[in-house]
Amino acid sequence: MPSEVVLLHTAGISRSLPELRLLSARQKLADRQIKAVRAGYIPSISLGGQLGAVGYQEKLHHYFHTSGETHNWFGNTYLALSVHIPIFDANDKRLKVRQYRYDRQQAETSFDMQRKQLEKEYADASRLLRHNLEVFRTQKDSYRQAEDVYAVTKEKYREGVASMTELLQDEMRLHAAQSACVQAHCQCNMAQLALLKLAGSLDCLTR
């Protein structure tokens, strides 16, 4: 006969589920895109420069061995300061911000709908587990009763009081009760697996 059902603790759906993480990432991406577009309104200043030298020699080896007469190197340096002030972009940034806000709202709505759906599945799985536990306890009691009846009938058959037909019938009832008990135990485990999956706690099975 199956052993007792071992119940593992779960505390509601996990926000780390792939379905919720994907939608949450979409919201964060839209927020970053909005910030990036708004940053385009801010004036920017950049500073650049270059330092170099140019040499003119009559012979190649003078480039590497110079003297006073052959020292024809001239340095050059420049600095550049550029200022970018956004003035007109044909409402391009405003349209992008509006689109990204819409994308974020869509992702947020999808997140809420998905979360509610998962919470419903969790509640359904919890009710199913409670129901299956009751069924398992009932089937376990039925199996014990069938076991007692079979033991009595078997003893009566040895004493010649019960017939072979009665013994076989009670044995069949015992096997049927055992099968129902095993099936109810499996149903409990299946419901608990569904809860562990929704809670993101399947890894506890390998600890």
Q: Is residue 64 part of a domain?
A: no
pLDDT score of 117 more than 90: yes
Residue type for 183, please? Q
Residue 74 lies inside a defined structural domain of this protein:
no
Does residue 173 belong to any structural domain of this protein?
yes
**Which residue, 193, 201, 38, 177, is CA-closest to 129?**
193
Q: What is the pTM of this model?
A: 0.65
Q: Is residue 78 part of a domain?
A: no
Q: What pLDDT, on a 0 to 100 scale, did the predictor assign at position 12?
A: 79
Measured CA to CA, the distance from residue 110 to residue 104 in angstroms comes to 10
Which parts of 42-153 are beta strand (E)? 44-55, 73-84
What pLDDT is attached to residue 110? 93
Pick the closest to residue 122 from 196, 184, 188, 186 (CA basis): 196
Residue 79 lies in a domain: no
- Look at residue 192 and tell me if it is in a domain: yes
Half-sphere exposure of 28 (CA within 13 A, CB side): 6
80 has pLDDT over 60:
yes
What is the C-alpha separation between 46 and 79, in angstroms, rounded?
A: 11
How far are the Cα atoms of 91, 143, 177, 178, 199 from residue 172, in angstroms, in the given order?
Answer: 82, 12, 9, 10, 41
CA distance 98 to 35: 12
Share of the chain above pLDDT 70, in %: 79
Question: Quick check: 62 pLDDT over 80?
Answer: no
pLDDT at 39: 76
The CATH number assigned to the domain holding 148 equals: 1.20.1600.10
Asked if 38 and 97 touch (Cβ cutoff 8 Å), the reply is yes
Domain that holds residue 201: 18-42+86-206
Average pLDDT score over residue span 80-96: 76
Residue range 46-66: mean pLDDT, rounded:
67
Q: How many structural domains compose the chain?
A: 1
Identify whether 93 is part of a domain: yes
d(CA 132, CA 195): 13
Q: Is 109 a domain residue?
A: yes
Closest CA to 172 of 164, 162, 184: 164
How confident is residue 19, by pLDDT bands cut at 50, 70 and 90?
Answer: confident
pLDDT tens, position by position, 131-152: 999 999 999 999 999 999 999 9
